[in-house]
Amino acid sequence: MDLGSDVFGPQDVAVDKKPEPFVVMMTIDRETSSVVLTRSDGKEARQSIAPAPFESTSVLSRLHWSPALGDLVAVTCKGDDIAFELPVRDRSDQLEQRLVVYLDQWVWRRITEALQGGTTVDREDRDAAEQLAEWVRDRRIVLPASAGHYYETTKWASEHNRYRLGLTILQLSRGWQMLDPLQVRRDEIDGMFRRWLGQDADGRATAVFTLTPNSLHSSSRMVPYTPPSDFSTDDAFRMVALTAASAYIDVMLDTERVEPGPEPGWVQFNQRFSDWLDGQNWDSQQKRRSIDALLFADFRNELAEGAQGAGLSPQDLQRWGQKQPMNGFSILPATGLYRAMLHHRHLNRGTTWKRSDLTDMIYLSCAAGYADFVVCEKHMREPLERGVRRLGLRTKVFRHLSEAVAAIGHSLEHQAHDIDASAQQESNDLRRG
């Protein structure tokens, strides 16, 4: 089946001929295990699918794709709808001036309670959650999901609560993803080395918030779907986008939880290091250098790959390593923030490390490096905000949802004013011209 030329509408035809009917909707239906093609004249064609398109633990009932609208709509067995925006080939930026607001997992839980009738949320947070949802619908902001959100949500033991939370994240993220922070780190380190060599690079990653398929996990952490080799370039792109979007939705809402797995060794490692550092009679600068040595060892693979990718010779790498190499991290938004948060945690005497700390630090530092707003819990907000100030970033970090929404509203007002002023200036220029 051609997903391209036949589905977008009739081509130029003679005025005395009726336009040929074209496909306006493609549906995968669970109940009948079939693909349904709906034409512009209202007629349908059905093709059975074998084996069945959905696993027994899936909650999806139907998937709808409209070529003209460009969105994927999933319908669950409970009757809930989820709309995902899809990427457009050869179009790198689809944000269209929308502000990016990244929400910590704790905030997503609050929003879920607020929008789905929870009794533990006060009126202030309920109003804030409803305002965010309205701005998403009006295409004024995006609330991207990250692999961290998927990781934490799919491990919830309560199937009911897991569904409610996953549904909220999916409905409000609308397919927007944050690029895998490990990929962002690689991109930044590569840019850092290129800048050091005098090349045109600023150490910033690109398209950190994106609709690009399979961005939640970098290629080093997953093997993406590959379409049939006889597909055209356009059809292959659409198939990858549709497959990735439907898989994200299906995985998030599956009735079977993902088991948490064993306690990661990094928790004990960092706890031992913090305890050891507390016992050293050093000043803060000496301790910072020790933490940087720890970080340098942790980043050794990314540094080696980045140096090779940027074209550093062994002599170049040696010279770079002799000139206070960690200073170069100050230009890297996400990696620099992660370093600042690690410093804060290890310098804070008596720090107790928990399983969730690494996830929070990695994803929040990446988000705050590139988003317009970040909302997170108190214990992460303080080191994050300090790091933002130290690196000179423009991201605004909040603990309370209502305060964040007030600031977002203020920014949207300024944005609308600037757009109106620009349009007025353009109109005046045309009159004078």
Q: What does the mean pLDDT of the chain come to?
A: 89
pLDDT number for residue 323: 75
Reported as a pLDDT band with limits 50, 70 and 90, residue 425 is low
Reported as a pLDDT band with limits 50, 70 and 90, residue 115 is very high
306-316 pLDDT, tens digit per residue, is 999 999 988 88
Residue 379 has pLDDT above 60, yes or no: yes
226-267 pLDDT, tens digit per residue, is 888 999 999 999 999 999 999 999 999 999 999 887 777 889
Residue 296 has pLDDT above 50, yes or no: yes
pLDDT number for residue 10: 44
Residue 11 has pLDDT above 70, yes or no: no
Reported as a pLDDT band with limits 50, 70 and 90, residue 427 is low
Residue 1 has pLDDT above 50, yes or no: no
Residue 270 has pLDDT above 70, yes or no: yes
Q: Which of 267-271, 325-329, 337-341, 402-406 has the lowest mean pLDDT?
A: 325-329
189-221 pLDDT, tens digit per residue, is 999 999 988 888 888 999 999 999 999 998 777
* Per-residue three-class SS string for the chain: CCCCCCCCCCCCCCCCCCCCCCEEEEEEECCCCEEEEEECCCCEEEEECCCCCCCCCCCEEEEEECCCCCEEEEEECCCCEEEEECCCCCCCCCCCCCEEEEECHHHHHHHHHHHCCCCCCCHHHHHHHHHHHHHHHCCCEECCECHHHHHHHCCCCCHHHHHHHHHHHHHHHCCCEECCHHHHHHHHHHHHHHHHCCCCCCCCCCCCEECCCCCCCCCCCCCCCCCCCCCCHHHHHHHHHHHHHHHHHHHHHCCCCCCCCCCCHHHHHHHHHHHHHHCCCCCHHHHHHHHHHHHHHHCHHHHHHHHHHHCCCHHHHHHHHCCCHHHHHHHCHHHHHHHHHHHHHHHCCCCCCCHHHHHHHHHHHHHHHHCCEEECCHHHHHHHHHHHHHHCCCCEEECCHHHHHHHHHHHHHHHHHHHHHHHHHHHHHHHHC
pLDDT number for residue 9: 42
Residue 14 has pLDDT above 50, yes or no: no
Q: Is the pTM of this model over 0.95?
A: no
Average pLDDT, integer, range 150-167: 95
Reported as a pLDDT band with limits 50, 70 and 90, residue 23 is confident
Reported as a pLDDT band with limits 50, 70 and 90, residue 422 is low
Where exactly are the structural domains of the chain? 181-205+262-399
Average pLDDT, integer, range 408-429: 77
pLDDT number for residue 433: 60
pLDDT number for residue 416: 82
Reported as a pLDDT band with limits 50, 70 and 90, residue 18 is confident
